[in-house]
């Protein structure tokens, strides 16, 4: 294992960092105007906004001045849109009315956004009864037709512009809440959220830093689309005389005032109606173009730096110097005793990890191997304090990380333990990184947690971490986004993030299985190199015994939730004592002396969780059990045999 090996995998880049960042900033706008509907919609929206701002300056007449000598005049050069029943200039009133009309739309959408989005995010984050309550209230609200609901609110509050804003806002709250909940749930399922949690990031930080920036595109689209319907609802209330009160002009109110003259003077309704319909169309077109870009299905393709990305949270004032002990010492970095984990299934429990014992000393690597479904990930997540207590129960045993219990902690104690002692590397580096943040921002976030370093120190530390994981030119690369790196480079970045808090224990769940063979070896070489330099303990879950042989010190073989053989790699893989380990080794492709021979597949299937056979769990597949009734009577205990622990009644067999 060498550092050099770790530095050879430099991805070809698609451009330099600074132009790339600048490109990202404008790509959202470019993608809108690249669509005809986006271009038309955006142009019209800008024109309407200009009208709302500068309308009063452009009006040729005083919109409030009555002239009873010139009432109900048809359009002419003096009065482009004619005059109304009080002789007021309709063109001037339409121009002035833009501000009130669009203002009600902006107010209504802002109201709905401010109440609906936090409600939806809260429901998705907390789940349980809060989620159920929010969803039921939303269902009830959505069961009323919008305009009826809005009318009822205005009827209670009284007719005024501000009450119309509240009414149309309340009507849209459930739509924002439901959408925010749905997109938040999908973001929370992303591995980079778990990665952030594994570093001890608080819920507030995760929401501000990861959830809001990622859902901002969808919410922007929704706001634009809802703006159109809010505008129409508000104008509907204005038409009924419940909105902006005369003599102030507003397009809906103007339509209402023109009702009596619709046959004799249709232009009175035509012009405000056209402006109103045009504004709804403009926002709909723009919203539709945004939806094409920010549709959740293509969310990861979005290259835009999010507008909510500017939200920042101050680092917590706790000090990293408060570490209770050094990384090297007599205590194991992790010590697990008689650990039992069970999935909650209905009213019962399904045991998935059974009486696991393991220790990892600082500076050593333990590989956990076993067939799919043997409980490796469940074990690793419990050690990482990442097991979801609503799904997984610790039914027995202890986990000590650097001497501190990792079980039954309060949420804040758990976050603190993770931050100080544990780093986690996930399998899929691509989804472990937030696609809308630069890698500099993501590493900085991990560095900042629990420290009070200033910006320059954080940046320097980020660059050091990138160098540590073999990425050259770190200063420049900090400004780049995940999509600008290859798979191997992304996994290096994920490792850099995991190392940001100097963990005593690094946990890696199949960190290389998504990579090709050459890169796998480079990443494992890198992990080994870093481990030696920092004296960390590493627990790695893998299916690949060849990699275990090359990079691990110890190996624990799991079968049906229990460790059946555990010892130094050289002993366990060279002369396995458990029939399952022997079968696994015989199934290694390209093993010594096996070239050209077919692989020996392990017959049968591993048992389903909660459906273990009586006695030894491996008995239905074991080649050694024939004629041995002991195997069916009890579960074999793990005992020392030839320098390693083996759970088989006949592990001594063949030893002289």
Ligand X SMILES: Nc1ncnc2c1ncn2[C@@H]1O[C@H](COP(=O)(O)OP(=O)(O)OP(=O)(O)O)[C@@H](O)[C@H]1O
Closest separation between CB of residue 375 and Mg ion, Å? Answer: 8
CB nearer to ligand SF4: give 99 or 577: 577
Beta bridge partners of residue 538, listed in sequence order:
365, 506
**CB neighbourhood size of 32 (10 A):** 18
Phi, psi of 198 (to 5 degrees): -65, -20
Q: How many residues bind ligand SF4 (CB under 6 A)?
A: 13
By CB atoms closer than 10 A (0-12, 13-18, 19+), residue 412 is exposed
**Tokens 């619709």 belong to which residue?**
262
Q: Which two tokens stand for residue 189?
A: 């399922």
* DSSP-derived secondary structure letter, 303: -
Least distance to Mg ion, CB of residue 350, Å: 16
Of 513 and 575, nearer to Mg ion (C-beta) is 513
Cα separation, 615 vs 650, in Å, equals 14
134-136-142-148 Cα dihedral, nearest 10 degrees: -100
**Which whole-number Å values give the CA distances from 175 to 109, 142, 162, 227, 237, in the listed order?**
11, 8, 21, 12, 20
Q: Is 191 in the site for ligand X (CB under 6 A)?
A: no
- Is 451 near ligand X (CB under 6 A)? no
Judged by CB under 6 A, the residue of 618, 638, 644, 645 near ligand SF4 is 618
Residue closest to 442 by CA, chosen among 478, 487, 473, 489: 478
CB of residue 447 vs Mg ion: minimum separation in angstroms? 29
Residue 375's SS3 state is coil
Residue 543 per-residue DSSP state: S
**Burial classification of residue 71, based on how many CB atoms lie within 10 Å of its CB (0-12 exposed, 13-18 middle, 19 or more buried):** middle
Q: Nearest distance from residue 449's CB to ligand X, in Å?
A: 27
Number of residues located near ligand X, criterion CB under 6 A: 14
Interface with ligand SF4, residue 625, by CB under 6 A = yes
CA distance 576 to 580: 9
Q: Beta 365-369 vs 554-559: how paired, if at all?
A: parallel
Cβ nearer to ligand SF4, comparing 117 with 583: 583
| β-sheet bridge partners, residue 566 | 556, 645
Q: How far apart are CA 448 and CA 453, in angstroms?
A: 7
DSSP string, 321-350: GG-SS-S-SSS-SEEEEEEEEEEEETTEEE
- Interaction of residue 356 with ligand X, rule CB under 6 A: no
* Beta carbon of residue 644, minimum distance to ligand SF4 (angstroms, whole number): 15
Q: Give residues 584-643 in contact with ligand X (rule: CB under 6 A).
A: 609
> Of Mg ion, ligand X, ligand SF4, none, which one does residue 287 interact with (CB within 5 to 8 Å by kind)?
none
Task: State the minimum distance, in angstroms, from the CB of residue 376 to ligand X.
Answer: 4
- Contact segment (CB under 6 A) with ligand SF4 among 199-207, 394-402, 587-595, 617-625 equals 617-625
Question: Residues 333 to 352: which contact ligand X by CB under 6 A?
Answer: 343, 345, 350, 352
The site partner of 625 among ligand SF4, Mg ion, ligand X, none (C-beta below 5 to 8 Å per kind) is ligand SF4
- Phi/psi of residue 261, each to 5°? -110, 15
Smallest separation, CB 201 to ligand X (Å): 24
Alpha helices (H) in 357-402, listed in sequence order: 376-383
Among 8, 76, 162, 391, binds ligand X (CB under 6 A): 391
Token pair 């209670």 in the structure block, residue: 156
- From ligand SF4, ligand X, Mg ion, none, interface partner of 391 (C-beta below 5 to 8 A by class): ligand X
Q: Of 121, 365, 154, 325, whose CA–CA distance to 242 is shortest?
A: 154
Look-up of token digits 């380990």? 581
Distance between CA 55 and CA 47 in Å, rounded? 11
Instruction: With contacts defined by CB under 6 A, name the span among 56-64, 189-197, 270-278, 615-623 that binds ligand SF4.
Output: 615-623
Instruction: Name the DSSP class of 612.
Output: P
At residue 264, φ and ψ (nearest 5 deg) are -75, -35
Residue 127 to residue 10: CA distance in whole angstroms: 42
> Judged by CB under 6 A, which of 98, 168, 622, 641 binds ligand SF4?
622
Q: Does position 558 bind ligand SF4 by CB under 6 A?
A: no
Residues at the interface with Mg ion (CB under 5 A): 377
- Give the contacts of 59 (CB within 8 A, at least 6 positions apart): 89, 91, 92, 95, 96
Residues 445-474 touching ligand SF4, rule: CB under 6 A, are: none
The interface region with ligand SF4, picked from 92-100, 291-299, 499-507, 645-653 by CB under 6 A, is: 645-653
**Would strands 639-641 and 404-405 be described as parallel, antiparallel, or unpaired?**
unpaired
Residue 614 CB, nearest approach to ligand SF4 (Å): 11
Q: Rule CB under 6 A: choose which of 93, 205, 340, 619 binds ligand SF4.
A: 619
Smallest separation, CB 49 to ligand X (Å): 50
By CB under 6 A, tell whether 496 contacts ligand SF4.
no
Least distance between Mg ion and beta carbon 602 (Å):
18
Query: Could you tell me the smallest distance in angstroms from the CB atom of residue 556 to ligand SF4?
Result: 16
Of 99, 303, 364, 376, which lies in the binding site for ligand X, with binding defined by CB under 6 A? 376
Among 101, 172, 253, 378, binds ligand X (CB under 6 A): 378
- Residue 584 CB, shortest distance to ligand SF4, in Å, is 13
Q: Give the residue, chosen from 233, 258, 365, 374, that forms a contact with ligand X under the rule CB under 6 A.
A: 374
Which of 75, 103, 363, 373 binds ligand X (CB under 6 A)? It is 373
Among Mg ion, ligand SF4, ligand X, none, residue 373 binds (CB under 5-8 Å by kind):
ligand X
Helices 17-33, 267-294: axis angle to 10 degrees equals: 140
The nearest distance, CB 374 to ligand X, in angstroms, is 4
> Which among 344-352, 361-369, 504-512, 616-624 is the span making contact with ligand SF4, rule CB under 6 A?
616-624
Where on the chain is the footprint of ligand X (CB under 6 A)?
Answer: 343, 345, 350, 352, 370, 372-378, 391, 609
Where on the chain is the footprint of ligand SF4 (CB under 6 A)?
Answer: 579, 616, 618-619, 622, 624-625, 628, 631, 636, 648-650
């Amino acid at each position: 294992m060498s550092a050099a090996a770790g530095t050879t995998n430099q991805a070809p880049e698609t451009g330099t960092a600074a132009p790339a960042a600048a490109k990202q900033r404008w790509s959202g706008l470019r993608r809108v105007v690249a669509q005809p509907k986006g271009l038309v919609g955006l142009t019209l929206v800008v024109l309407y906004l200009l009208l709302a701002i500068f309308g009063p300056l452009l009006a040729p007449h005083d919109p409030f001045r009555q002239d009873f000598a010139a009432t109900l005049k048809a359009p002419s050069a003096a009065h482009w849109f004619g005059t109304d029943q009080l002789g007021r200039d309709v063109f001037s009133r339409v121009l002035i009315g833009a501000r009130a009309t669009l203002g009600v739309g902006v107010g209504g959408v802002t109201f709905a956004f401010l109440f609906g989005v936090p409600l939806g995010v809260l429901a998705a984050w907390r789940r349980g009864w809060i989620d159920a309550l929010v969803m039921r209230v939303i269902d009830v609200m959505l069961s009323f037709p919008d305009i009826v609901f809005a009318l009822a609110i205005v009827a209670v509050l009284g007719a005024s512009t501000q009450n119309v804003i509240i009414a149309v806002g309340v009507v849209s709250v459930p739509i924002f809440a439901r959408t925010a909940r749905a997109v938040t749930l999908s973001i929370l399922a992303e591995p980079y959220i778990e990665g952030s949690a594994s570093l001890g990031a608080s819920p507030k930080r995760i929401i501000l830093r990861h959830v809001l920036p990622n859902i901002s595109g969808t919410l922007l689209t929704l706001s634009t689309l809802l703006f159109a319907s809010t505008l129409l609802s508000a104008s509907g209330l204005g038409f009924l005389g419940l909105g902006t009160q005369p003599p102030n002009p507003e397009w809906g109110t103007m339509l209402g005032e023109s009702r009596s003259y619709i046959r004799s003077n249709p232009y009175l309704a035509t012009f405000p109606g056209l402006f109103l319909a045009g504004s709804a169309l403009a926002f709909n077109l723009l919203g539709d173009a945004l939806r094409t870009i920010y549709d959740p299905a293509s969310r990861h393709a979005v290259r835009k730096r999010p507008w909510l990305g500017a939200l920042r949270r101050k680092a917590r004032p706790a000090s990293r110097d408060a570490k209770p002990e050094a990384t090297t010492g007599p205590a194991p970095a992790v010590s697990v005793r008689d650990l039992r984990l069970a999935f909650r299934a209905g009213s019962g429990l399904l045991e998935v990890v059974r009486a696991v014992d393991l220790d990892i000393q600082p500076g050593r690597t333990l590989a956990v191997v076993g067939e799919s479904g043997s409980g490796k990930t469940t074990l690793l997540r419990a050690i990482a304090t990442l097991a979801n207590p609503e799904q997984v129960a610790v039914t027995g045993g202890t986990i000590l990380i650097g001497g501190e219990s990792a079980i039954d902690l309060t949420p804040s104690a758990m976050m603190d333990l993770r931050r100080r002692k544990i780093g986690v590397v996930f399998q899929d580096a691509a989804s472990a990184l937030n696609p809308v943040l630069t890698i500099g921002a993501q590493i900085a976030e991990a560095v900042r947690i629990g420290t009070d370093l200033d910006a320059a120190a954080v940046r320097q530390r980020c660059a050091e971490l990138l160098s540590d994981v073999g990425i050259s030119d770190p200063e420049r690369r900090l400004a780049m986004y995940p999509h600008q790196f290859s798979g191997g480079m992304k996994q290096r970045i994920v490792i850099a993030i995991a190392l940001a808090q100097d963990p005593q224990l690094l946990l890696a769940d199949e960190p290389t299985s998504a990579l090709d063979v050459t890169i796998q070896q480079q990443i494992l070489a890198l992990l080994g190199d870093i481990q030696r330099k920092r004296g960390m303990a590493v627990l790695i879950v893998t299916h690949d015994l060849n990699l275990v042989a090359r990079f691990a010190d110890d190996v624990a073989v799991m079968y049906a939730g229990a460790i059946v053989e555990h010892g130094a790699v050289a002993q366990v893989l060279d002369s396995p004592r458990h029939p399952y380990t022997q079968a696994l080794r015989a199934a290694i492709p390209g093993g010594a002396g096996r070239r050209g021979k077919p692989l020996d597949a392990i017959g049968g299937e591993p048992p389903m969780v909660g459906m273990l056979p009586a006695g030894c769990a491996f008995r239905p597949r074991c080649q050694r059990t024939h004629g041995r009734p002991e195997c069916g009577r009890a579960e074999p205990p793990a005992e020392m045999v030839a320098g390693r622990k083996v759970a088989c009644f006949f592990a001594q067999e063949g030893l002289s």
